[in-house]
Structure 1
């Protein structure tokens, strides 16, 4: 009887084992690991000018000008970027690559912030395609503790001009669509939509409360809720 009971349970055990095998890995990879972030509890952030890996010379300043607001709205004190730039200048450092090469320990001594944000712009400006054209801004960021040097968080985001409500020229012949794409590219260049798109990219990249995004800071009423 005991042998018969065990055999009857085998199909059930097999199903349970299969479910456990499926659920286990999902729990491990479902979300971002915020262990270091929660341990560090950063209150103030030093935002360094982004590295520019595009051909547009305005990428660094265009992106930098949009980064403070989402961080502040997320509950963090952000060191004024103008004062940070002046402090670097007085120390003979003016290029973003030089600023980002400064050690976390030295940055801590100079600015006294809890964490530093390293950013890289990989796409900025008008992108021409055969039948379409749009303004695209793509960036990645990494938050590092200035106390321990540990990486607390990293992520990336992208946005394009169409999401700002750019006019759609409609569809037609292939030649007509190519002409419209070229016209749109010129219009994007003249209107300089890149900074507006950079604002949307920054919101997606640095606003707290998003999947795998930054945690809410101590100055936010939602602090600790995530």
Structure 2
């Protein structure tokens, strides 16, 4: 076995890591959000752009808690799913195509949350194995049809791992992690971390606190 391709790739990996840490996050414009002041949120089942069929239900099972803790009434996801099915809509793509006015008429919610899962599952690379979940979200006012907020978040099982042990050690560790994570659906708890990062209020450029939170309208309604 030759190590030359791996060694040649190391400078490129290092450069990518350095460049990713240089981006400056711009403040989000919350003007429409603050004017809307939604109190109830309808969460549509996430669109799944990953190859893992478990992604939609896994992410959906985690999103209610951070929204509720942020001060919003969240329509029960099982009730929402059943309502769609009773109207002949059985997959997220069809549900996302329903007009905003129709969603408002049926559910009476102030806003709808559209989620897209970009990454979900375990992958194996030369010197790393991880379960990663990436999701995007858009919060749309069902009364004005304005986009109130949008964001993205990622979580990985590789966060905080030690890189000691040399290259051979990294390869062995990657193989072990792949076996463990593939047999235990490690992506499901990672989806919970992603959902919290994406939808918990008080984070930079995240959603605002809702009217049921004691932090509502505190410090510009962005964080405590």
In structure 2, distance between residues paired with 1:128 and 1:170: 19
CA drift at 1:173: 4.2
TM-score by length of structure 2 reads: 0.83
CA drift at 1:189: 0.9
In structure 1, distance between residues paired with 2:39 and 2:75: 11
CA offset digits 1:128-174 (Å, max 9, x no partner): 111111110000000000001100000000001134x77x6852343
Preserved CA contact (<8 Å) 1:45 1:113: yes
TM alignment of 1:31-180, pairs within 5 A: 31-163=27-159, 170-174=164-168, 176-180=169-173
In structure 2, which of residues 201, 205, 208 is the aligned counterpart of residue 212 of structure 1? Answer: 205
* Structure ID, larger Rg: 1
Preserved CA contact (<8 Å) 1:133 1:185: yes
Preserved CA contact (<8 Å) 1:126 1:135: yes
Aligned to 1:5: none
Aligned to 1:23: none
Structure 1 runs, 4 residues or longer, greater than 6 Å off: none
TM-score by length of structure 1 reads: 0.82
Preserved CA contact (<8 Å) 1:127 1:185: yes
CA drift at 1:182: 2.0
In structure 1, which of residues 178, 183, 190 is the aligned counterpart of residue 183 of structure 2? Answer: 190
Superposed CA RMSD: 1.6
In structure 2, distance between residues paired with 1:196 and 1:76: 23
Aligned to 1:6: none
Aligned to 2:17: none
CA drift at 1:30: 4.6
Q: Which runs of 5+ in 1 are unaligned?
A: 1-28
In structure 2, distance between residues paired with 1:155 and 1:169: 30
What SS class does the counterpart of residue 162 from structure 1 fall into?
Answer: coil
CA offset digits 1:37-67 (Å, max 9, x no partner): 0111100000001100000000000000000
Preserved CA contact (<8 Å) 1:169 1:180: no
In structure 1, distance between residues paired with 2:104 and 2:116: 21
- Report how many residues are paired: 195
In structure 1, distance between residues paired with 2:149 and 2:71: 16
Preserved CA contact (<8 Å) 2:71 2:209: yes
